[in-house]
A and B are shown apart, each in its own frame.
Chain A
Amino acid sequence: GDSVTQMEGPVTLSEEAFLTINCTYTATGYPSLFWYVQYPGEGLQLLLKATKADDKGSNKGFEATYRKETTSFHLEKGSVQVSDSAVYFCALFGGWGNKLVFGAGTILRVKS
């Protein structure tokens, strides 16, 4: 079945550091790919998405590119802030499925 693997955390960075959170997937067909973020004490929010190969999703300085050849959707940000501290979930919606399939989540901690 479809699956998502993302790097284990926690990831601890200093403010203004470069962020990469790796995400790879296995899916039949052509899934849509998502990054969701869960800030402390809040619900799950859509951060960005991409629906086809080579698409780049971007929001709030975060970017991720849908790479079909490497089945990856890595999340990047050039300069993180303390306010980016949260749990980040990579997810896919498969072409033939009826649900989002989530990775285990990566905790990001940004220190000032």
Chain B
Amino acid sequence: GAGVSQSPSNKVTEKGKDVELRCDPISGHTALYWYRQRLGQGLEFLIYFQGNSAPDKSGLPSDRFSAERTGESVSTLTIQRTQQEDSAVYLCASSFDRGETQYFGPGTRLLVL
């Protein structure tokens, strides 16, 4: 079946602009996660959704970052007033339920100039 998809695959933006990153999880997966991978570093957790609610937002680095999930499906990660340090690959993962194996999308590579 179809895997996790993300769009856009690449995004170049100017400092101060807002960006929206989209994630389509595997159908039927109730849990959805966002991670960030900065160049040469490991993956950092951002936020976890169970259904449409986000019981764990502890990884969001600032109030410029927000995310929502609708219809227990698509999720959008929004970064307002982007900064150069936001440049990274943003990865989405989904799993059948919390604690089950997570399957990752290809990521969105964000470059803030």
Contact = CB atoms under 8 A, between A and B. Distances in A.
Interface stretch (A16-24, A76-84, A95-103): A95-103
B58 to A, nearest CB: 8
B27 interface: no
Interface in B56-113: 56, 59, 91, 93, 98-99, 101-107
A46 B103 CA distance: 7
B42 A98 contact: no
B43 A98 contact: no
Chain B interface size, under 10 / 10 to 19 / 20 to 34 / 35 or more: 20 to 34
B1 interface: no
Contact of B55 (A46, A49, A98): A98
A43 B99 contact: no
Given A43-B105, A43-B106, A98-B48, A104 B91 contact: no
Contact of A89 (B42, B56, B59, B107): B42
Interface residues of A, number: 19
A14 B61 CA distance: 41
Contacts of B48: 98-99
Interface string A24-36: 0000000010101
Contact of B43 (A46, A89, A93): A89
A99 B60 CA distance: 13
A45 B101 contact: no
Given A89-B43, A103-B42, A104-B42, A98 B98 contact: yes
Given A49-B101, A98-B48, A99-B45, 10 more contacts: A42-B106, A43-B105, A43-B106, A44-B107, A46-B103, A89-B42, A93-B99, A99-B59, A102-B43, A104-B42
Closest 5 CB pairs of A and B: A99-B45, A98-B56, A43-B106, A44-B104, A102-B43
